[in-house]
Amino acid sequence: MSKSIVLVSGGMDSLVCAGIAHEEGHELHFLHMDYGQKTSRRERKSFDDIADFYHVPQKHRKVIDMNFLRQIGGSSLTDESITVKNYAGDSDVIPDSYVPFRNTIILSLAVSWAEAMTANTLYIGANHEDSPGYPDCRPSYYEAFNKVIKEGTKAADIKVLTPVIHMKKKDIVLKGKELEVPFELSWSCYKSSSKACGKCDSCALRLRGFKEAGMIDPIDYL
């Protein structure tokens, strides 16, 4: 049984990735990044709830404190002096919720863990179709990153997989339905931690995905 790491933010895309990795029969290891975002605690709860759902033992869960990102700054998610703005959801503009090079930092840590415990696959719920503004959600970025893994590791047989990268949010919802993932345990809102705001970029994308899939989002909205 091969080991696999799934980057589980607690959001819908990573939840569906977990469902895919589960279906493919890997020994699941869940990785969560707490980078001090405003909804950090709520996302952590979703991470644990999803891990419980897939029977991932505590020793296979890892939460990395990314608070050191605050020292770098440049993003509304980690810099409290910047307010999170709203976006239409599919703008070509790079949102100010962008943490410079964040995915590379996250992936590097994940690969380090993968190499330390000899996992071969790393699932990340990157999604290009609905996030054209994020440069590190592009398929070409992941191709380049996999080359870096090949060049920069001892084992060189670790691969980052992005199974939902080409899917529209609607298709992610439908894939999750097919795999019977627990959407009710996930969290996507950037702004609120009690009920989802329904208005931020992330909520807007999620709601549209459910709507287009003809499904009701089971989480509570304000």
What string marks each residue from 63 to 102 as x (binds a copy of itself by CB under 8 A) or -?
A: -xxx-xx-xxxx-------------------x---xxxxx
Of 34 and 129, the one with the shorter C-beta distance to a copy of itself is: 34
Q: Does 222 bind a copy of itself (CB under 8 A)?
A: no
Task: Tell me which residue has tokens 């047989």.
Answer: 157
CB of 125 to a copy of itself, least distance (A): 16
User: In the numeric block, which tokens belong to residue 164?
Assistant: 């939902």
- How many residues interact with a copy of itself (rule CB under 8 A)? 44
Give the dihedral of Cα atoms 164, 165, 170, 175; nearest 10 deg. Answer: -10
CB of 124 to a copy of itself, least distance (A): 13
Residue 101 CB neighbours (<10 A): 13
Applying CB under 8 A, among 30, 47, 123, 141 the residue interacting with a copy of itself is 141
Q: How many residues does the chain have?
A: 222
Could you report how far apart the first and last alpha carbons of the chain are, in Å? 43
CB of 148 to a copy of itself, least distance (A): 5
**3 state DSSP class of 123:** strand
* Cα distance between residue 215 and residue 194, in whole Å: 22
Applying CB under 8 A, among 27, 112, 184, 222 the residue interacting with a copy of itself is 112
Q: Which residues, 120 to 139, sit near a copy of itself by CB under 8 A?
A: 135-136, 138
* Cα distance between residue 111 and residue 121, in whole Å: 9
Task: Tell me which residue has tokens 């699932």.
Answer: 123
CB of 44 to a copy of itself, least distance (A): 15
* Cα distance between residue 46 and residue 212, in whole Å: 24
Residues of this chain that bind a copy of itself (CB under 8 A): 62, 64-66, 68-69, 71-74, 94, 98-105, 108-109, 111-117, 135-136, 138, 140-141, 144-145, 147-154, 156
